[in-house]
Structure 1
Amino acid sequence: MLSARIKQARQRIALSQQQVADKMGVSKTAVFKWENGHYEPKNLDILANILGVSLTWLREGRGSPVPAQTSDMPAEINNASYNQDETPVCLYPSIDMAGYIHSEQQQHRLHCKKFGLNTELLERKKISPDMVACFPVDDNSMEPIMPHGTVFAVDLNRTSIIDGNLYLIKQNHLFRVRKLYSMPHQKVRLHAYNKTEYYDESVSVSDIVILGRVFYYAVEL
Structure 2
Amino acid sequence: MIFREKFKQDMVITRNMKLSERIKQARKDARLTQDQMAEQLGITKGAVSQWEAGKTKPRNGTLKKIAKITGKPVVWLMDLNDVISFDEIGRSSLEKSSIPVYGQSATGSNDEIDLHQQLFSIACPPQLYGVKNVYALLIPDNMMSPRYELGEIIFIDPTRHARTDDYVVIQIRNDKTSRLQAFIGKLVRHNSEELVIRHLNPGLALYFSHEQILSIGLIVISSTIR
The TM-score with structure 2 as length reference comes to: 0.49
Alignment-derived partner of residue 76 in structure 1: 85
Instruction: Please provide the CA RMSD for this pair.
Output: 4.3
CA contact (8 A) 2:169 2:218 kept: yes
CA distance in 1, matches of 2:191, 2:84: 43
Instruction: Report the equivalent of 2:130.
Output: 128
Corresponding residue number in structure 1 for 2:115:
100
Residues 168-207 of structure 1: pairs in structure 2 closer than 5 A: 168-170=169-171, 173=174, 174-194=181-201, 197-207=202-212
User: Could you tell me the TM-score, scaled by structure 1's length?
Assistant: 0.50
Alignment of 1:1-221 (within 5 A): 7-9=1-3, 67=76, 70=79, 73-77=82-86, 82-83=91-92, 87-94=96-103, 100-101=115-116, 112-115=120-123, 117=125, 119=126, 121-122=127-128, 128=130, 131-158=133-160, 160-170=161-171, 173=174, 174-194=181-201, 197-221=202-226
> Which stretches in structure 1 are left out of the alignment for 5+ residues?
1-6, 14-48, 50-54, 59-65, 102-108
1:218 Cα deviation from its structure 2 partner: 1.5
Take 1:140 and 1:133, find their aligned partners in 2: how far apart are those partners? Answer: 20
- Structure 1 residue ranges, 4+ long, deviating more than 3 angstroms after superposition: 9-13, 66-69, 84-88, 95-99, 109-112, 170-174, 181-185
Q: What residue identity is the alignment partner of 2:99?
A: C
Deviations 1:196-217 (A, max 9, x none): x242234422233325221111
Contact kept? 1:83, 1:116, Cα under 8 Å:
no
Note the residue ranges of structure 2 that are not aligned, 5 or more in a row.
Answer: 8-66, 107-112, 175-180
Q: Distance in 1 between matches of 2:93 and 2:2?
A: 38
For residues 142 and 83 of structure 1, do their structure 2 counterparts lie closer, same or farther at Cα, with a shift above 3 Å needed? same
